[in-house]
């Protein structure tokens, strides 16, 4: 029974990892910007939901506030930090350091406003019910899996069936050629930030209502996103999604054999194994360097 | 007669390093003008500066007499200019159908005209029909070049900038590729600025030629005059 319980918990965690990681992978894959502050997007969305919902505004305003905050943060960061650095031909490393700095700043500001301790949102959907003897699942677990399936299905449709989605894939291939076609790469990159940041929101909200939050949770989210992007294959959205699920399941099932403090180490063991044995990842074309 | 495309005292480069300077170039309507020069002569830089891919440091670019210096490629494309870049010119992960759709979306081809426009291009380059649904990465160099040219033609441009279309192609394939473009130029009055290292083949279809060296124009005239100039022909 414990294995089934852990597998279901792992699927829920993996679904949320998949959403955040696909958001990062979409931004990184199409813009080549190492958006380390993606974790900060998660923190902003989660705390905005916590604040709006917790002050009695209700679920829908909470979700809207979290979405608006996440999307605006991604867009503003792109416009005010990444675009100026790239305009001055700043290196990949410069962008990474700037993004890392913004992530730390967000973490500190959230800590000052909401406190540095653990906090969580209690909703009627958080309570677990026994589905088979000894196995407890909360409605939020089903919502997490359903939400992930729907959003990633919608993302697939967007990337394959719309001009903007096709342009995003084109940008990932060759930004210079995008300009030759007469398209505006900055505008397409902004779309990547909007979509990638919005994908974080369900994961942030469900996490705030299940495992809880603290201002440093963004680092864990970012590390998982990075690991899933590499394990899944850089540039492969489907690969990243699979890797997110795999990492969530592995972290959870590892509890059968190791103590909970080692679960993050399991993620990195998988990451290192892929870097050494299969650097192109599950479905990727480019080797991770 | 107003020039289709012209550069006046044009200078451009990368990161403050000048590559071309004092370029005075005129492309007349319905003319094929061939730009010749060694690697590093500045031919591709000139094309990029004229299409807005790099900002000129000095001088002026005009389309139909209208100044477009510093305009974005999108604006220049909207004025009837299309560019086929050096190299593959296609997005590896997209299918040919997707590349064509994106090209027409980028240049605001009306939705109701898109199917007819694709058929028009397939009439000019019929072989593309065989691999419309394949990802561009799986196509040969010649097929990719055809797709790149086909995509540029979809906007029905008045001016076509072709940057080294022969790279990686067998001479016969290059001739096959140029023949329909030459026919289009003669039939529809398309103006073509052709950058080419395969000088003999390029001159066969050109009305005029310009030779560039170290970022400057050093000779301009009729292709047959260039053929008579032993010193230049030896060089190029």
Of the candidates A167, A176, A184, which has its C-beta nearest B102's C-beta? A167
Any chain A CB within 8 A of the CB of B124? no
Of the candidates B85, B94, B106, which has its C-beta nearest A169's C-beta? B94
Phi, then psi, of B213 in degrees rounded to 5 = -145, 130
Domain boundaries, chain A: 2-277
Q: What is the pLDDT of residue B236?
A: 62
Whether A212 has a pLDDT exceeding 90, the answer reads no
Pairing of strands B58-63, B216-221: unpaired
CA pair distance A279, A285, nearest whole angstrom: 9
**Strand order in B17-27's β-sheet?**
B17-27, B5-14, B58-63, B66-67
Q: Burial code of B116-138, b = ≥16 C-beta within 10 A, e = fewer?
A: ebbeebeeebeebeebeeebbee
Of the candidates A167, A170, A180, which has its C-beta nearest B73's C-beta? A180
In DSSP terms, B13 is beta-bridged to B18
Whether residue A173 and residue B93 make contact (CB cut-off 8 A), yes or no, is yes
The backbone region for A280, taken as left when phi is positive above 0, alpha when psi lies in -120 to 50, beta otherwise, is alpha
Whether A288 has a pLDDT exceeding 60, the answer reads no
Whether B226 has a pLDDT exceeding 80, the answer reads no
CA pair distance A1, B14, nearest whole angstrom: 65
Domain span at residue B184 reads 5-235
Whether residue A182 and residue B77 make contact (CB cut-off 8 A), yes or no, is yes
Phi, then psi, of B219 in degrees rounded to 5 = -160, 145
CA pair distance A153, A99, nearest whole angstrom: 29
Rg value, chain A, Cα: 19
Of the candidates B85, B91, B107, which has its C-beta nearest A170's C-beta? B91
Q: What is the pLDDT of residue B232?
A: 63
Q: Which two tokens stand for residue A36?
A: 């380390």
Residue of A160, A166, A180, A285 best to disrupt the B interface, most CBs of B under 10 A = A180
Nearest partner of B10 among B53, B36, B45, judged by Cα: B45
Whether B217 has a pLDDT exceeding 70, the answer reads yes
Whether residue B106 and residue A169 make contact (CB cut-off 8 A), yes or no, is no
The tally of domains found in chain B comes to: 1
When pLDDT is cut at 50, 70 and 90, the band that residue A287 belongs to is very low
CA geometry: angle at A275 spanning A271 and A281, to 5°?
85
Of the candidates A89, A163, A179, which has its C-beta nearest B53's C-beta? A179
Closest CA in chain B for residue A183: B106
Any chain A CB within 8 A of the CB of B14? no
What sign results for the dihedral spanned by CA atoms B156, B162, B166, B169?
A: negative
CA pair distance A119, A121, nearest whole angstrom: 7
Any chain A CB within 8 A of the CB of B206? no
In DSSP terms, B84 is beta-bridged to B162
Can you give the pTM of this predicted structure? 0.89
CA distance B8 to chain A (A): 22
Closest CA in chain A for residue B87: A177
Residue of A87, A182, A186 best to disrupt the B interface, most CBs of B under 10 A = A182
In DSSP terms, B220 is beta-bridged to B210
Query: A253-263: per-residue pLDDT in tens?
Result: 999 988 888 88
Residue of B16, B44, B73, B80 best to disrupt the A interface, most CBs of A under 10 A = B73
When pLDDT is cut at 50, 70 and 90, the band that residue A188 belongs to is very high
Residue of B106, B111, B164 best to disrupt the A interface, most CBs of A under 10 A = B106
A79: which DSSP letter? I
* Mean pLDDT of all residues in B13-20: 88
Q: Count how many pairs of residues, chain A against chain B, have C-beta atoms within 8 Å.
A: 56
CA pair distance B63, B85, nearest whole angstrom: 19
Any chain A CB within 8 A of the CB of B72? yes
CATH number at residue B205: 3.40.50.300
Q: Which CATH class is domain A2-277?
A: mainly alpha
For residue A136, the surrounding DSSP H or E stretch is: strand A135-137
Lowest mean pLDDT among A149-163, B146-160, B220-234: B220-234
Looking up tokens 């505008």 gives A187
Pairing of strands A135-137, B208-213: unpaired
Whether residue A182 and residue B74 make contact (CB cut-off 8 A), yes or no, is yes
Which stretches does DSSP call E strand in chain B?
5-14, 17-27, 32-36, 58-63, 66-67, 81-84, 159-163, 191-195, 208-213, 216-221
Rg value, chain B, Cα: 17
* Mean pLDDT of all residues in B42-51: 95
CA pair distance B50, B44, nearest whole angstrom: 10
Using an 8 Å CB-CB cutoff, list chain A residues near B91. 169-170, 173-174, 177
Q: Which two tokens stand for residue B63?
A: 């389309």
CA pair distance B214, B13, nearest whole angstrom: 12
Whether residue A180 and residue B85 make contact (CB cut-off 8 A), yes or no, is yes
Lowest mean pLDDT among A55-59, B3-7, B168-172: B168-172
Any chain A CB within 8 A of the CB of B151? yes
Any chain A CB within 8 A of the CB of B101? yes
The percent of residues in chain A predicted with pLDDT above 70, rounded, is 98
Any chain A CB within 8 A of the CB of B15? yes
Whether residue B151 and residue A182 make contact (CB cut-off 8 A), yes or no, is no
Half-sphere exposure of B150 (CA within 13 A, CB side): 29
When pLDDT is cut at 50, 70 and 90, the band that residue A122 belongs to is confident
Q: What is the pLDDT of residue A241?
A: 95
Of the candidates B77, B91, B106, which has its C-beta nearest A173's C-beta? B91
Lowest mean pLDDT among A45-54, A161-170, A253-262: A253-262
The DSSP secondary structure of A160-227, one letter per residue, reads HHSHHHHHHHHHHH-HHHHHHTT--HHHHHHHHHHHHHHHHHHHHHHHHHTT-B-TTHHHHHHHHHHH
């Amino acid at each position: 029974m414990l294995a089934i319980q852990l597998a279901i918990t792992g699927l829920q965690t993996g679904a949320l990892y998949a959403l955040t990681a696909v958001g990062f992978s979409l931004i990184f894959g199409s813009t080549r910007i190492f958006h380390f502050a993606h974790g900060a997007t998660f923190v902003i969305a989660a705390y905005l939901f916590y604040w709006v919902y917790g002050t009695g505004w209700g679920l829908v305003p909470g979700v809207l506030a979290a979405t608006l905050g996440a999307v605006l943060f991604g867009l503003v960061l792109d416009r005010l930090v990444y675009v100026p650095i790239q305009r001055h031909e700043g290196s990949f490393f410069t962008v990474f350091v700037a993004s890392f700095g913004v992530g730390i700043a967000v973490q500190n500001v959230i800590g000052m406003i909401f406190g540095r301790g653990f906090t969580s949102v209690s909703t009627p959907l958080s309570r677990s019910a026994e589905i088979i003897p000894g196995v407890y699942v909360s409605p939020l677990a089903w919502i997490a899996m359903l939400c992930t399936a729907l959003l990633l299905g919608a993302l697939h449709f967007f990337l394959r069936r719309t001009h903007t989605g096709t342009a995003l894939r084109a940008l990932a291939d060759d930004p210079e050629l995008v300009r030759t076609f007469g398209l505006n790469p900055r505008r397409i990159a902004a779309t990547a930030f909007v979509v990638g940041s919005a994908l974080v929101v369900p994961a942030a909200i469900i996490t705030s209502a299940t495992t809880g939050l603290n201002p440093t949770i963004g680092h864990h989210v970012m590390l998982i996103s990075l690991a899933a992007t590499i394990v899944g294959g850089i540039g492969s959205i489907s690969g990243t999604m699979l890797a997110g699920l795999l990492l969530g399941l592995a972290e959870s099932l590892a509890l059968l054999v190791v103590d909970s403090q080692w679960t993050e180490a399991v993620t990195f063991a998988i990451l290192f194994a892929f870097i050494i044995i299969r650097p192109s990842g599950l479905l990727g074309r480019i080797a991770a360097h | 007669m107003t020039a289709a495309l012209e550069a006046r005292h044009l200078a451009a480069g990368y990161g403050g390093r000048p590559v071309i300077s004092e370029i005075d170039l005129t492309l007349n309507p319905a003319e094929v003008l061939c730009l010749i020069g060694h690697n590093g002569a500045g031919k591709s830089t000139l094309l990029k500066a004229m299409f807005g891919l790099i900002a000129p440091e000095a001088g002026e670019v005009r389309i139909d007499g209208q100044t477009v210096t510093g305009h974005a490629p999108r604006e220049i494309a909207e004025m009837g200019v299309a560019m086929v870049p050096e190299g593959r010119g296609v997005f590896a992960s997209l299918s040919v159908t997707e590349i064509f759709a994106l090209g027409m979306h980028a240049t605001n081809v009306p939705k109701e005209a898109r199917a007819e426009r694709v058929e028009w291009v397939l009439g000019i380059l019929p072989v593309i029909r065989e691999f419309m649904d394949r990802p561009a990465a799986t196509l040969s160099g010649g097929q990719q070049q055809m797709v790149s040219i086909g995509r540029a033609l979809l906007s029905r441009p008045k001016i076509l900038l072709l940057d080294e279309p022969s790279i990686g192609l067998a001479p016969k394939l290059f001739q096959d590729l140029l023949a329909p473009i030459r026919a289009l130029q003669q039939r529809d009055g398309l103006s073509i600025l052709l950058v080419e290292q395969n000088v003999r083949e390029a001159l066969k279809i050109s009305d005029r030629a310009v030779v560039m060296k170290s970022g400057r124009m050093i000779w301009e005239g009729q292709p047959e005059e260039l053929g008579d100039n032993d010193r230049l022909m030896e060089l190029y």
